[in-house]
Structure 1
Amino acid sequence: MLSKLKREWLTDPVTNILAGIVVALALIPEALSFSIIAGVDPMVGLYSSFIIAVVISIVGGRPAMISAATGAVALVVVPLVRDYGVNYLFAA
């Protein structure tokens, strides 16, 4: 188990770090735009995206796994925030 984790995390650190930077740079405008669409403070979008990214990096993601906001999420988030408030958004 430990050797598998070492192999996955330490095999190619340069590629992993560059991939993380690219994803982070792509995630910032996406998080800001979806928080504006949802009608919440943009910092809420940045914090939630950061937390999701950290949790997925620790727990372990899968190739082609979507672990951030998508266009379909905006369709659910806007009525949720409008009808019930930001607290229900955090729970969702």
Structure 2
Amino acid sequence: MLLLSKKEDWLGNIRADILAGLVVALALIPEAIAFSIIAGVDPKIGLYASFCIAVVIAIVGGRPGMISAATGAMALLMVTLVKEHGLQYLLAATLLCGVLQIIAGYLKLGQLMSFVSRSVVTGFVNALAILIFMAQLPELTNVTWHVYAMTAAGLGIIYLFP
């Protein structure tokens, strides 16, 4: 009975799973490159890391609402680590972060987020957006007018068609 349930979980909706995987993969490529540039590492490293994350999550499973990719908060934290200690410490820090997340999951520490007010979460997200924007400003200097046109078009889409 358990084997049949597992088979249904893995093979129950192959078409939708493949389509979802392709959409996520196409969205993940520019995100992985952007976050690796913010973190100060080669974009290939971001692509390899994102691929490894996706494979691990595909095997061990995930849950709705779970972020299984690079995040802006982590990219911003890794900038200082890579600059001060080099790329070799990035792997160790990533593995340590994973171990701490597993421990926090077993101890059910996610429930403590209910004590964090909405305004603190909003402030954190807004500060993160400002820091990512500031990290991208050097990419907008000494470029052709095409880059500025694309930036203006992107901002127009964001603000005119929410």
Q: What is the TM-score when the length of structure 1 is the normalising length?
A: 0.93
**Deviating runs (4+, > 2 A) in structure 1?**
none
By relative contact order (CA 8 Å, sep 6+), the higher-ranking structure is 1
- For 1:79, the equivalent position in structure 2 comes to 80
Whether 1:42 aligns to 2:43 is yes
> Residue 19 of structure 2 aligns to which amino acid in structure 1?
L
* Secondary structure of 1:6's aligned partner: helix
Whether 1:27 aligns to 2:31 is no
Distance between the aligned counterparts of 1:84 and 1:52, measured in 2?
23
* Secondary structure of 2:73's aligned partner: helix
> Residue 72 of structure 2 aligns to which amino acid in structure 1?
G
* Secondary structure of 1:55's aligned partner: helix
Structural RMSD (CA): 1.0
- The one-character-per-residue Cα deviations of 1:28-53 (angstroms, maximum 9, x if unpaired) are 00100111111111100000100110
Distance between the aligned counterparts of 1:78 and 1:8, measured in 2?
39
- Alignment gaps of 5+ in structure 2: 95-162
- Alignment gaps of 5+ in structure 1: none
> Residue 10 of structure 1 aligns to which amino acid in structure 2?
L
> Residue 5 of structure 2 aligns to which amino acid in structure 1?
K
> Residue 51 of structure 1 aligns to which amino acid in structure 2?
C
> Residue 7 of structure 1 aligns to which amino acid in structure 2?
E
Distance between the aligned counterparts of 1:74 and 1:40, measured in 2?
10
How far 1:77 sits from its partner (Å)?
1.0
Distance between the aligned counterparts of 2:72 and 2:39, measured in 1?
12
- For 1:9, the equivalent position in structure 2 comes to 10
Distance between the aligned counterparts of 2:5 and 2:24, measured in 1?
24
Distance between the aligned counterparts of 2:57 and 2:42, measured in 1?
23
> Residue 50 of structure 1 aligns to which amino acid in structure 2?
F
- For 1:59, the equivalent position in structure 2 comes to 60
Aligned length in residues: 92
> Residue 24 of structure 1 aligns to which amino acid in structure 2?
A
Larger radius of gyration: 2
